[in-house]
Chain A
Amino acid sequence: MRDWLYEPLSAERFGWMVLSILILLGVLLFLVTYAIYVQRKLLGWMQSRVGPNRVGPYGLLQTIADVLKLLTKESFVPTHADRPLYLLAPIVAFAPAFVVFAVIPLTDRIAFTDIGIGLLFYIGVASLSTLGVIMGGWASNNKWSLIGAMRAAAMMISYEIPLVLAALGVVMLAGSINLVDIVEAQRGVWNVVPQFVGFVIFLIAALAELNRTPFDLTEAESELIAGYQVEYSGFRFAIFMLGEYVYLFAMGALIAILYFGGWLPPHPALDFIPGIVWLVVKTLFFAYLPFWLQATFPRVRIDQLMTFSWKVLMPLALVNIAFTSLVKTIAGGVS
């Protein structure tokens, strides 16, 4: 990234930048479209239903029809809403989800930008989505959306701490917060083995960050209608949902990179399959896992949620850090 900063901004270079952004957006839109399809189909099967099967073969075009419906719907703004914030909120919630893909490396060479502090960048930018959620919840001028937004903010802030503390174990093992270095440090054995406790904490906290079952209190259809999105419809609702699903893939990629060796194959003998395939397979698996859990778990209560984060996950993550540093010091990794 730093090389082009000091060169003249030619039309060609600008064109490439725009093109690569559009390609990333296209890929993400495709993934999200079919993630929603897979989610509905899976939930259907797990609940002994058929799932979408009307639009196109096997219902494959169902999500596309849904998106078209959302786009042609009236974009409604409540009379007493805080208009500027109401219009801005979906964008603020979605933009960080898209920006974090800038630092996620696809292989050791293909990455939008390979900055030295990739993991920190991801965590910092992802935390900005909370602002969009609060903004939307407040601007809607609706008690359900405000309660939903408050819950979302409290939850995202509380679970960010165990998330970061768990990831710290991986950082200590690799001795770097660059995502490429973290993957390269897993050449021998994937981090999920030495950092299993950290992985479990990270996975739970990630589910909470993504607002997925069993932590989907922010939406909680049965008690809060739809949380902070109650008043949103049509295109703006679609943007909120898009942000949520894009995070699913970003978090899937992050889990794959931090704990499952990123683009490294499970065994060196499988090296002939290109690394990007491994990363995509792992990412898709961890993007699919929340759907599975959604059909399995009931929703937790808000007080249980907070207690669990502060009294269980955080101390456990601290113990994990202490233990990791102890092992690393004994092994003589620290100079």
Chain B
Amino acid sequence: MAANLVVFLIVAAFVLIGGMVMLTETRVLHMAFAVALSFLGIAAFFFLLGAEFLGVMQVIVYTGAVTTLAVFGIMLTKHDAEDPPANPNRWHRLLSLFVSAALFAIFFYALIRTPLYTPVERETPISAAEIGAHLFSGQYVLAFELIGVLLLAALIGSVVLAKEDAPDRAKEDRR
């Protein structure tokens, strides 16, 4: 058995365990950390495929930032630490079984029908410099800049929202 298959199976097990724990757990915080495990496993898939830059980005953005954000959101908002376990009736169970089976069938069919892309043999993984060069080529530069503007708008928006609780002198004077 080749080493990459062994690594793949171990990592896939972690991804699936993370997903299962996320679905079965009743405490919200546990769900957030279970998803973090899945995210980490997906990063490992990227590494396994030689997309190191994507793998690290997955770790930084999803495992690091998104999970931290979710955990902060859970901690800072008021809610019960434990959700009551869902107690579905029989129809509910049947319906969810049907929906998940149908979804699985659709995805599986699509996966089987997709012609598998045979990768070009590369000696070295795709470097960050190549990705950078492609990002700033004519093909992607507009999308890149638009995302930059979007992020800037989000940043300014969050600053405006966060500033709201500062005492507003002008409004108080008018009263």
Q: Which residues of A contact B (CB under 8 A)?
A: 2, 4-9, 13, 82, 84-85, 88, 115-117, 120-121, 123-125, 127-128, 130-131, 134-135, 138, 146, 150, 153, 157, 175-177
Q: Which residues of B contact A (CB under 8 A)?
A: 1-4, 6-7, 27, 29-30, 33, 36, 40, 48, 50, 52-53, 56-57, 59-60, 63-64, 67-68, 71-72, 75, 124-125, 127-129
A124 proximity list for chain B (CB < 8 A): 56-57, 59-60, 64
B53 proximity list for chain A (CB < 8 A): 116-117, 120
Q: How many A-B residue pairs have CB under 8 A?
A: 86
A82 vs B125: C-alpha distance when bound (angstroms): 42
B127 engages A116 (CB within 8 Å): yes
A157 proximity list for chain B (CB < 8 A): 68
Q: A5, A8, A85, A157: which has the most chain B beta carbons within 10 Å?
A: A5
B33 proximity list for chain A (CB < 8 A): 85, 88, 131, 135
A9 engages B52 (CB within 8 Å): no
B63 proximity list for chain A (CB < 8 A): 128, 131
B68 proximity list for chain A (CB < 8 A): 130-131, 134, 153, 157
A5 engages B48 (CB within 8 Å): yes
B3 engages A117 (CB within 8 Å): no
A116 proximity list for chain B (CB < 8 A): 52-53, 124-125, 127-128
- Choose among A4, A88, A128, A177 the residue that contacts B128 (Cβ–Cβ < 8 A): A177
> Which of chain A's residues has its CB closest to B61's CB?
A124
B4 proximity list for chain A (CB < 8 A): 5-6
A125 vs B58: C-alpha distance when bound (angstroms): 11
A9 proximity list for chain B (CB < 8 A): 1-3, 6
A138 vs B32: C-alpha distance when bound (angstroms): 13
A131 engages B71 (CB within 8 Å): yes
**Please, could you name 22 A-B residue pairs with CB atoms under 8 Å apart, sorted by A?**
A2-B125, A6-B2, A9-B2, A82-B30, A85-B33, A115-B52, A116-B52, A116-B125, A116-B128, A117-B52, A121-B52, A121-B56, A124-B57, A124-B59, A124-B60, A128-B63, A131-B36, A131-B64, A134-B75, A146-B75, A153-B68, A153-B72
